């Protein structure tokens, strides 16, 4: 569970996050809001790339903000980015193995975990191919596989479905839904695809201009007038 208390991020006069308070208890939690709402800023705070002006973030009782970005990986935090970050001149296998290198996992166990993750996302047959040879869908799935090794506790996915076709998006949904049961982590998912959020996230947090708008069961949240006005641009 992610507990966020009085979290404020300030750049000069701008506050991308302003006194945010919320407890994210869903196993797969959506994070939505219009552009500039502070979604990616929140992920950057959780990853350790932005130091907040004030506030506290606990993940399963651990004070996240006291840890360096690298130590957060040891804790089990995994992250994907809006722009995919597959390394072109590493093989698919090595792209995943690169994460386990720094977690002190024995070689045989590392191989078992990489194999399991690549099977899970359907890239086991591509393990020998270089990152540069993959299409966008495969790159996105490879980023997910990278998040599944090394006993993950919290996965932060920033628009994993961007650029996918309908059938690819369907597979992504099935994959995301299967992750908690098979690998155990909590997922915080940003995506502009409301259908993906509705299909995968039991609860959703909505931000608007860096402020908390609402949090609750996804279907209820999407039905709220305040969300339709702020996010969907619907006059109510």
Partner 1 sequence: MTPPKISDALIILPGRYRTLWEIPVVMLILTLIAAFTANAYWISTLTSALAIALAARGIGVLYGLLGLVSLCQFALIGVGGWTMLRLGHGTGLPFELNVLLAGVVAAAVGVVWGAPALKLKGLYLALVTLMLAGAYQVVISATGFPDGGQGWLGRADAIQRLMLERPVVAQNSTRYLIYCAAWATLGFMAAEWLRLAKPGRAWAMIRKDDRAAMSAGVNLLVYKIIAFAFAGFLAGVGGALLAGSVGQLDGRAFAASESLSLFALSVVAGVYNWYGALIAGLLLRAVPSLLTDFEINGYAAIVFYGTALLHAIITAPRGIAGQISGLITRIKALLGRKTPPRQATRQEDS
Q: Which is nearer to partner 1, 53 or 112 (CB)?
A: 112
Chain residues binding partner 1 by CB under 8 A are 47-49, 69-70, 73-74, 78-79, 81, 85, 87-91, 93-94, 97-99, 101-103, 111-112, 114-116, 118-122, 124-125, 127-128, 137, 146, 167-168, 170-171, 174-175, 178, 182
Nearest-angstrom CA–CA distance, 221 and 6: 22
Output the CA torsion sign for 65, 69, 74, 80.
positive
Question: Least distance to partner 1 from the beta carbon of 174, Å?
Answer: 5
Smaller CB distance to partner 1: residue 120 or 212? 120
Instruction: Please enumerate in sequence order all residues whose Cβ is within 8 A of that of 104, keeping only pairs 6 or more positions apart, or say none.
Output: none
Smallest separation (angstroms) from partner 1 to the CB of 18: 24
Our CB check for partner 1 shows the closer of 5 and 75 to be 75
For residue 35, what are the contacts with CB-CB under 8 A and spacing of at least 6? none
Tokens representing 48 are 């350790």
Rounded to the nearest whole angstrom, what is the least distance from the CB of residue 199 to partner 1 in the complex?
Answer: 14
Q: Parallel, antiparallel, or unpaired for β 77-79 and 154-158?
A: parallel
Q: Among residues 25 and 101, whose Cβ is nearest to partner 1? A: 101
Minimum distance of partner 1 from residue 84's CB (angstroms): 9
- Residue 32: strand pairing partners: 206
Q: Which is nearer to partner 1, 120 or 231 (CB)?
A: 120
- d(Cα 84, Cα 132) in Å, to the nearest integer? 12
Beta bridge partners of 78: 155
Least distance (Å) between residue 116 CB and partner 1: 7
């Amino acid at each position: 569970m992610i507990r966020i208390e009085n979290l404020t991020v300030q750049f000069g006069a701008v506050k991308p996050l302003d006194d945010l308070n919320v407890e994210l208890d869903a196993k797969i939690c959506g994070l939505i809001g219009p552009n500039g709402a502070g979604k990616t800023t929140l992920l950057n705070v959780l990853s350790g790339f932005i130091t907040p002006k004030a506030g506290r973030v606990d993940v399963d009782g651990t004070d996240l903000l006291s840890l360096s970005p690298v130590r957060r990986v040891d804790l089990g935090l995994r992250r994907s980015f809006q722009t995919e970050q597959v390394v072109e001149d590493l093989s698919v296998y090595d792209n995943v193995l690169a994460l386990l290198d720094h977690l002190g996992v024995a070689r045989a166990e590392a191989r078992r975990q990489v194999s399991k993750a690549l099977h899970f996302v359907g890239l086991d047959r591509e393990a020998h191919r270089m990152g540069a040879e993959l299409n966008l869908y495969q790159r996105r799935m490879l980023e997910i596989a990278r998040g599944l090794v090394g006993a993950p506790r919290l996965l932060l996915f920033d628009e994993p479905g961007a650029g996918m076709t309908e059938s690819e998006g369907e597979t992504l949904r099935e994959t995301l839904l299967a992750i908690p049961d098979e690998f155990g982590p909590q997922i915080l998912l940003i995506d502009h695809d409301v259908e993906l959020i509705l299909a995968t996230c039991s609860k959703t947090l909505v931000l608007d201009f860096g402020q908390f708008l609402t949090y609750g069961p996804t279907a209820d949240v999407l039905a709220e007038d305040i969300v339709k006005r702020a996010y969907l641009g619907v006059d109510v």
